[in-house]
Chains A and B, each alone.
Chain A
């Protein structure tokens, strides 16, 4: 695929999306305005209708500028410690995400090392690792939270555990592939050096698994954010981006839902980008040409 000239098509598509969005805003919010005008006994002109639909208190579909405005208000203007600041909620979600991601990565790498070096583990654990992902784990999220709450564990760790469960899978699969990526000739060479298993691991298997590791990490961090957000749903909407979503849906605050959603999206994009930078940095230090380093 040619990479040249991506900006213009992407911008075109984005602007088309924005135009459609604003058209939808008018179309979806119009019934409410007509209703209001009818009750007041007045007719409503088209230009009045358009401007009204863009500035409703609780629109069916908020316009982009309303969301941007709300985000500016809750991110920049509110104090960070305030309960209404999105930075505060975002930080809570982010810390659970990062903790879960870290545990998941370590666990995933350890499992992969075990699977690569032990045949019995390969044959017995690997099918279950794959099967574990066909289980909708997010469904278990509320129970993990409530149960861990019952034994006195609350706050960060239960949410992080859900992120862990989601993020370990791509790491295991990627790392098993990566640790097995050195070919026969390279392994034989290590053998002729009479290298021990540990030496082969550190000098050959580990370095050659790096590209696979980072590709999996990108998936893992995105998915652990999802885990943290869903983990916040059943805690009774206390804090975090997921709680903002739930509270917004209870009280019909659509603008709040959308701004939480966009914050989550920006967070996800930033996290994936950071992993992407780490990817290209590490590969550059190792003297390899990074492929697909951009997100």
Chain B
């Protein structure tokens, strides 16, 4: 069976060489260049999967340790209803509700902070401090307070997403410079008008940064909170019980779903960011 390993390594070396060649070449057409830029990481990912498959099958690694990707894929196909139920419980209920509430309240408190410099000077250092703390530890307390169902997970997500949003929004609101604010003042615009027409657009790169950070934090918070007690459905629950039963392929299937959900969520936020902050220098260059 050693030839499987050799084949996998050869395939990996081959894709590496292709990538090396592709990344050195300059393509005349803009479209072609973009496709190639997408192709390179894709090839790398495929190579990793092949390497994984080859090694686990070739060296006959026990299934309990690391199942080959093909087996995980098969498992995903076989247990779609369970995966969907878990996804619904964890992602559609806990993550989304917590994310909206946490980001929303963080944003509102940031607006409040902006009106009072005293509040801002008091809250901002604390917000920075709390962001560095292992907030995930409140999970058992939330489970105790709000019960086993998704509400307690949503509460953990709210706390985890609140502080990054607060800190980033406050920072973003001071991003518009003095000249621009003075201009708004010469137009005799009110605080609200300045906020909506100048300062929120100027703050949006910061706000989207927080939204992106929070999209991954939210999923982590919900899954880890499920380790502390949950009804018999949910991604975190499935992972912790199937690990106990040594059904590692099911765990990997759940992880694949989580990875897909996390990346899609992140991607969606990034897409919205691109359409909203099209004027930002980091995005402008790509459009030409």
Q: Which residues of A contact B (CB under 8 A)?
A: 1-2, 5-6, 9-14, 60, 119-120, 122-128, 131, 133-140, 142-143, 146-147, 150-151, 218, 222, 225-226, 229-230, 233-234, 241-242, 245-246, 248-249, 252, 254, 257-258, 260-261, 264-265, 268-269, 272, 295
Contacts and interface: CB of A to CB of B under 8 A. Distances in A.
B243 A142 contact: yes
Contacts of B40: 120, 123-124
A175 B251 CA distance: 33
A226 B135 CA distance: 8
Interface of B: 16, 19-20, 22-24, 37, 40-41, 43-45, 48, 64-66, 118-126, 128-129, 132-134, 136-141, 143-145, 174, 215-216, 219-220, 223-224, 227-229, 235-236, 239-240, 243-244, 248, 251, 254-255, 258-259, 262-263, 265-266
A225 B239 contact: no
Contacts of A133: 216
Nearest to A9: B122
Nearest to B266: A134
A8 to B, nearest CB: 8
A6 to B, nearest CB: 5
Contact of A230 (B65, B136, B145, B215): B136
B216 A134 contact: yes
B140 A13 contact: no
A137 B66 CA distance: 16
A249 B219 contact: no
Contact of A13 (B66, B122, B134, B251): B122
Given A135-B255, A142-B243, A248-B140, 18 more contacts: A5-B121, A9-B120, A11-B122, A14-B126, A120-B40, A123-B19, A124-B41, A139-B254, A139-B255, A146-B244, A147-B248, A226-B136, A229-B137, A241-B137, A257-B140, A265-B133, A269-B132, A269-B133
Identify whether the interface residues of B are mostly helix, strand, loop, or mixed: helix
Closest 8 pairs (CB-CB, A-B): A9-B122, A249-B140, A124-B44, A13-B122, A127-B41, A9-B121, A135-B259, A222-B132
A264 B136 CA distance: 11
Given A139-B235, A139-B236, A295 B141 contact: no
Identify whether the interface residues of A are mostly helix, strand, loop, or mixed: helix
B263 A249 contact: no
Contact of B44 (A60, A128, A269): A128
Given A151-B65, A249-B228, A265 B134 contact: yes
B236 to A, nearest CB: 7
A123 B37 contact: yes
B44 A234 contact: no
Contacts of A2: 121
Best-buried of A1, A133, A139, A268 by chain B (most CB within 10 Å) = A139
A136 B216 contact: yes
Contacts of B259: 134-136
A139 B41 CA distance: 24
A199 B31 CA distance: 38
29 contacts: A6-B125, A9-B123, A12-B122, A13-B119, A60-B145, A119-B23, A120-B22, A120-B40, A123-B19, A124-B43, A128-B41, A134-B263, A136-B216, A136-B258, A136-B262, A138-B136, A139-B255, A142-B239, A142-B240, A147-B64, A147-B66, A225-B134, A226-B134, A233-B227, A241-B137, A254-B144, A257-B137, A265-B133, A295-B132
A132 to B, nearest CB: 9
A233 B136 CA distance: 12
